[in-house]
Amino acid sequence: MRIISLDEQSKKNILEDLLKRSPNQYTEYEAKVADILKAVKEEGDEAVFRFTKMFDKADICSACVKVTEEEFAEAYEKMENPDLLQIIRKARENIRAYHEKQRQYSWFDSKANGTMLGQKVTPLARVGVYVPGGKAVYPSSVLMNIIPAKVAGVEQIIMTTPPGPDGKVNPNTLVAAKEAGVDAVYKVGGAQAIAALAYGTASIPKVDKIVGPGNIYVALAKKAVYGHVSIDSVAGPSEILVIADETANPKFVAADLLSQAEHDELASAILVTTSAELAKKVSDEIDNFVQVLSRKEILEKSLENYGYILVVQDLQEAIDVANEIASEHLEIVTKNPFEVMMKIKNAGAIFLGEYSSEPLGDYFAGPNHVLPTNGTAKFFSPLSVDDFIKKSSIIYYSKEALEPVADEIIAFAEGEKLTAHANSIKVRFDK
């Protein structure tokens, strides 16, 4: 893995390199995605089933697109690892407990002068959760997307996921969905699933918001339908940044970097360290791990494209670099990780100490693993209960409360040349 002594030019090059991974850069796919969205909007189910046959090799029809209770029951029986069900249930409770603390409630503030102001919190009525399929299986993503919606009180949560060529959904995915509390699952993937959720078809109801990760077609489809519906974010490839000093265990650091590099060839894994000696040891450990891990080709490509070990002068420089990159996952493996954490402004999720490795957050700890990528942690947050509610402002003034301020409101409106606004107040106090 390449080792670089960081300076301003190398930092600039790395940041430009990382931005190339953004879905916003893949404009060559937009026309194809637009065609799929248009077809589904105009033809509904017919287009959805046609694209499912084309891309997933599965024959799906209106009678079989929705997962039945029998199929859910069959999924429980077909789980390869019988222990996984209990693990899913433990993770579910950790995720639920964490997100329960995020719940917001309506509030009202009454004053003696006859005013009442407040905020009414309302859950979204119907949410669509997209879960990737194909060769990959992500029951963890099922839990992370459905449980916050359940905690928020969403009335109906529907999930779409691509079927296999046999028209079936992976058993682990279905079990996770049932355990999380999904209301319905549809066997549709790709941009056609996003279109169906955004516009609605005879078989798949239109939703208010779409959440969940996916490939470039899914990401661009979500971006395109934003406005017809709300979305969580346009997710980019996975990434990890580790801040480490001379006290870090090089084997642990190497393993954690590879835990994200194995996602795909566009994944980014970066170590920022104050120790040149640690840099060399981590590079050697990575070389050793890559030779024995199952996704060797992906790891090699990912590290070649977007893997860096950056050697910096001191911890403050490491912190500055981390804040500039604003990584999806940030591990702090230093002598005093809590002190460093206090200076971090931009990161999706922060992992402290050598035993808080990134997969702990992916699967089990409780905080959401749907995180901002490609530097968007500078202004976006992890998926949360907040993503599944909306807020309405409440305003009440009695006549006695409005009268003393009426002239001021009239003057403000007239200052903006909006005489109808001013008149709306005036008529209430005409003699």
Active site residues: 328-329
Any residues with CB less than 8 A from the CB of 22 and at least 6 apart, and which? Answer: 236, 374
Rounded CA separation 146/388 (Å): 10
Report angle CA 416, 421, 427 to the nearest 5 degrees.
Answer: 135
Q: Is 89 exposed, middle or buried (0-12, 13-18, 19+ CB in 10 A)?
A: middle
Looking at the DSSP bridge assignments, the partners of residue 120 are: 392
Rounded CA separation 153/156 (Å): 9
Query: What b-and-e string marks burial along 266-302, b requiring 16 or more CB atoms within 10 Å of the CB?
Result: bbbbbbbbbbeebbebbbebbeebbeeeeeeebbebb
Looking at the DSSP bridge assignments, the partners of residue 46 are: none
Rounded CA separation 108/392 (Å): 12
Rounded CA separation 406/401 (Å): 9
239 close to 260: Cβ distance less than 8 angstroms? yes
Rounded CA separation 196/40 (Å): 7
- Closest by CA to 196, choosing from 172, 173, 162, is 162
Looking at the DSSP bridge assignments, the partners of residue 309 are: 3, 271
Neighbours of 322 (CB within 10 A): 24
322 close to 346: Cβ distance less than 8 angstroms? yes
Rounded CA separation 229/392 (Å): 18
